[in-house]
A and B are shown apart, each in its own frame.
Chain A
């Protein structure tokens, strides 16, 4: 279980990088990516995945 970032919609603002409680998001090759090994979809920590909560573009941080 993991989220992913739709690169074509990402504005590269980086807001998600700081909010991720698992440090699963990093900047690679001009875009942000989620490491599926680290992502927990914020289960047990927050009601909703933090990357999607802070992302300015709808439907950009979505279940992989």
Chain B
């Protein structure tokens, strides 16, 4: 009998093959796939899942880009280099005394790099993290307000590491002037931050812009900005460059209006829309922080994302990362790659090793996708209006493989008979195991962050937190430790529905939860674990 990918993976786990590489090796042997890459073609290796119904040329562009493909972000990493400190507009959610507040956690100042330093850093990271496939320039100012530095960096990297995808993130004010250059450097992905298409709304978000040697303010500034953004987006679409739109959701200012933004950008060919919650706190020193402007709650954000989710893809896995972030989304390894450390590194850029590693990642990825394909069948015949959320503690690779107390974030899945297990976002939490201080408070923080969930799936959990979670109406489940996320969640959901049917479970709606955006630096996590 032909074994499924999932069965092979499970057998590998049971036989004691603990690490991912061994498992992937076994799976590759089983399937007779070669582990050397031939440009990512995988037709002979079965599943093509994750592609949804994207045209092949678009899938080819997004499949290894963690920001453009939710599924890819479990497997591939990105990095940003902070070569662009200057900006040409002012946003009320940004205080450039630190960095762009939208890109940074407070009190953490990034190092600025010259293009030459940036190129060396990219090679150092690419050699250390072979699944790093994407280089972005996202500030800390605006990449296109620093065009010489931005394009010099792209030029250096495209010569020394031609396999790395290039992308940039801009406010769009000078985008129309640079689209030709962007196309020339084969930049495949451009993100534009669009918070409004109505200058009256814009005037509440942007105090001023600097355009053609003049500072503009108020409605006039916002009108110029929106015209330039839309023109730039149209020019990108004409040239086949994929564009993602980032929007900051600011309750009471642009929350309802973002539906109009969604229509406007969809109509101009944007590929993906990423609605992010406003990060706002007085200590950031931003205008919104000082005026007490609040950010949205988890359910407010989800409702808006749901209402915009039609023909256009919504991004829900954004971590609002720093302009110098390094690693998988959800982790930040930038501390390993400071300028000082990089300059001491002896970098040997080995393309063959990178390709071999990435081929293995593809094997693991296919296994997850293959497992997923059969899972919906578990729910066959079930039809219910009930939708519940569950939280998952994971280190990646699509499995429930993190200890409750070590999780720095939880991934949130919505379970329904229509869509099965549908990823809807993540929630950052303070580390629960903090080695000595405020443990109870930390647990309360976790509960506040996931209190709209019915259950939390973990690799392991202690008795006390389990009891406290139960008191908050959240069931802690460790029976699916190291299993694939979706299948476990669906199995749980089927059992839940059966419980509701036979009366042993009374279904209740859970309330709302808090958003704590951002990433937790990996070195902090490691220190905390080491201190235990």
Query: Taking the complex as formed, is B58 at the interface, i.e. its CB lies under 8 A from any CB of chain A?
Result: no
**Total number of A residues with any Cβ neighbor in B under 8 Å:** 15
Query: Taking the complex as formed, is A38 at the interface, i.e. its CB lies under 8 A from any CB of chain B?
Result: no
Partner of B213, one of A15, A46, A56, A57: A46
CB-based contact B97/A11 at 8 Å: yes
Partner of B88, one of A12, A47, A54, A57: A54
Q: Which of B453-482 contact A (CB under 8 A)?
A: none
By a CB distance below 8 angstroms, the chain B residues around A56 are: 87, 90, 96
Interface string of A43-54 (1 = CB under 8 A from B): 000111010011
- In whole angstroms, how far apart are the Cα atoms of A56 and B87 in the complex? 8
- In whole angstroms, how far apart are the Cα atoms of A57 and B285 in the complex? 12
Partner of A47, one of B97, B146, B214: B214
Query: Taking the complex as formed, is A13 at the interface, i.e. its CB lies under 8 A from any CB of chain B?
Result: yes
Classify the secondary structure of A's interface with B. loop
Interface string of B397-421 (1 = CB under 8 A from A): 0000000000000000000000000
Known: A54-B88, A54-B210, A57-B97. A15 touches B215 (CB 8 A): no
Q: Which of B380-438 contact A (CB under 8 A)?
A: none
CB-based contact A15/B86 at 8 Å: yes
By a CB distance below 8 angstroms, the chain A residues around B213 are: 19, 46, 50, 53
Q: Which of A1-55 contact B (CB under 8 A)?
A: 11-15, 18-19, 46-48, 50, 53-54
CB-based contact B214/A13 at 8 Å: no
By a CB distance below 8 angstroms, the chain A residues around B517 are: none
Within the complex, the shortest CB–CB distance from A60 to chain B, in Å, comes to: 11
Query: Taking the complex as formed, is B157 at the interface, i.e. its CB lies under 8 A from any CB of chain A?
Result: no
- In whole angstroms, how far apart are the Cα atoms of A15 and B146 in the complex? 8
Known: A19-B213, A47-B214. A14 touches B97 (CB 8 A): no
Within the complex, the shortest CB–CB distance from A14 to chain B, in Å, comes to: 5
CB-based contact A48/B215 at 8 Å: yes
Q: Which of B307-330 contact A (CB under 8 A)?
A: none
Classify the secondary structure of B's interface with A. loop
Query: Taking the complex as formed, is B85 at the interface, i.e. its CB lies under 8 A from any CB of chain A?
Result: yes
Query: Taking the complex as formed, is B141 at the interface, i.e. its CB lies under 8 A from any CB of chain A?
Result: yes
Query: Taking the complex as formed, is B145 at the interface, i.e. its CB lies under 8 A from any CB of chain A?
Result: yes
- In whole angstroms, how far apart are the Cα atoms of A54 and B86 in the complex? 9
Within the complex, the shortest CB–CB distance from A52 to chain B, in Å, comes to: 8
By a CB distance below 8 angstroms, the chain B residues around A18 are: 86, 146, 148
- In whole angstroms, how far apart are the Cα atoms of A46 and B215 in the complex? 11
CB-based contact A13/B215 at 8 Å: no
- In whole angstroms, how far apart are the Cα atoms of A53 and B210 in the complex? 7
- In whole angstroms, how far apart are the Cα atoms of A24 and B87 in the complex? 20
Partner of B96, one of A11, A19, A47, A53: A11
By a CB distance below 8 angstroms, the chain A residues around B215 are: 48, 53-54
- In whole angstroms, how far apart are the Cα atoms of A11 and B99 in the complex? 9
By a CB distance below 8 angstroms, the chain B residues around A57 are: 96-97
- In whole angstroms, how far apart are the Cα atoms of A45 and B88 in the complex? 20
By a CB distance below 8 angstroms, the chain A residues around B146 are: 14, 18
By a CB distance below 8 angstroms, the chain B residues around A53 are: 210, 213-215
Partner of B86, one of A13, A48, A50: A13
- In whole angstroms, how far apart are the Cα atoms of A48 and B86 in the complex? 19
CB-based contact B96/A14 at 8 Å: no
- In whole angstroms, how far apart are the Cα atoms of A18 and B210 in the complex? 13
- In whole angstroms, how far apart are the Cα atoms of A18 and B84 in the complex? 12
| Residue among A14, A19, A50, A56 with most chain B CB within 10 A | A56
- In whole angstroms, how far apart are the Cα atoms of A63 and B204 in the complex? 30
**Closest Cβ neighbor of A45 among chain B residues:** B213
By a CB distance below 8 angstroms, the chain A residues around B97 are: 11, 57
- In whole angstroms, how far apart are the Cα atoms of A11 and B88 in the complex? 14
Interchain Cβ contacts under 8 Å between A and B, 21 examples: A11-B85, A11-B97, A13-B85, A13-B141, A14-B85, A14-B86, A14-B146, A15-B141, A15-B145, A18-B86, A18-B146, A18-B148, A46-B214, A48-B215, A50-B213, A53-B213, A53-B214, A53-B215, A54-B86, A54-B88, A56-B90
Q: Can you list the 3 inter-chain pairs with the closest CB atoms, starting with the nearest?
A: A15-B86, A53-B215, A13-B85
